[in-house]
Amino acid sequence: MGAGGVRRRDFINIAALSAAGVGGVAVIYPMISQMAPSADVLAESTTEVDVSAIEPGQAIKAVFRKQPLFVRRLTPAEMEAANAVPLSSLRDPQSLADRTKPGHTDLLVTMGVCTHLGCVPLGAAEGENKGEFGGYFCPCHGSQFDTAARIRKGPAPTNLEVPDYSFTSDTTIVVGEA
Ligand code: FES
């Protein structure tokens, strides 16, 4: 092997290392950016939820912009209970229709964040305490939400927030898009 051959091999090795280095940076950067998204990126992020598997009477928990999101399929009886409440008796008067989408009034999408001091209410998982109004119960200070996730009792000042969302098909919603 001549001197020229050694130099050539070194060059190839250095080139290979450099390529690995560049590749490494390219791989690591998105991981870091995913772990710590900037406020701007987070504010624009959306969450897609397949709602086809949620049976009437069931709710599921998802995550939207790092916060809990509840998606609940109401039974006919739960819808009837929500519609039977006079709006004038509510602390934060909103009808079930106000809080759902036309043609999908059985699907209730809310943030899973209590409007009192931000605890996560119970009632979105199998067997959890739904409280005396059949919706959600906040274990921190006892706020009770009805089947439209409206505040009915306890210190929370307002209903669980309904985020912007839209249906992209009969079975899929995208939260974060009006
Ligand atoms: Fe829910 Fe206080 S944080 S009742």
For residue 113, report the distance from its CA to the centre of ligand 1, in Å: 9
159 touches 133 (CB < 8 A): no
Using pLDDT thresholds of 50, 70 and 90, give the confidence band for residue 103.
very high
Using pLDDT thresholds of 50, 70 and 90, give the confidence band for residue 112.
very high
Instruction: Tell the residue nearest (CA) to atom 3 of ligand 1.
Output: 117
Using pLDDT thresholds of 50, 70 and 90, give the confidence band for residue 82.
very high
d(CA 101, CA 6): 71
42-65 burial: b if 16+ Cβ within 10 Å, else e? eeeeebebebeebeeeebbebebb
The 3-state DSSP class for residue 120 equals coil
Mutate to test the pocket of ligand 1, among 91, 113, 116 (most ligand atoms within 8 A of CB): 116
Report the pLDDT value the prediction gives residue 38, as an integer from 0 to 100.
Answer: 76
**Is 138 a residue whose pLDDT tops 50?**
yes
Report the pLDDT value the prediction gives residue 37, as an integer from 0 to 100.
Answer: 65
Query: Could you tell me if the CB of 156 is within 6 A of ligand 1?
Result: yes
Report the pLDDT value the prediction gives residue 21, as an integer from 0 to 100.
Answer: 47
Please give the share of the chain, as a percent, with pLDDT higher than 70: 79
Lowest mean pLDDT among 38-52, 54-68, 107-121, 123-137: 38-52
Instruction: Give the dihedral sign, CA 39/176/63/116.
Output: positive
CA-closest candidate to residue 150, choices 76, 49, 59, 81: 81
d(CA 76, CA 56): 8
Query: Could you tell me if the CB of 175 is within 6 A of ligand 1?
Result: no
Tell which atom from ligand 1 comes closest to the C-alpha of 138: 1
Mean pLDDT in the chain? 86
Report the pLDDT value the prediction gives residue 27, as an integer from 0 to 100.
Answer: 47
Report the pLDDT value the prediction gives residue 29, as an integer from 0 to 100.
Answer: 45
pTM comes to 0.79
Please give the share of the chain, as a percent, with pLDDT higher than 90: 74
CA-closest candidate to residue 47, choices 178, 175, 141: 175
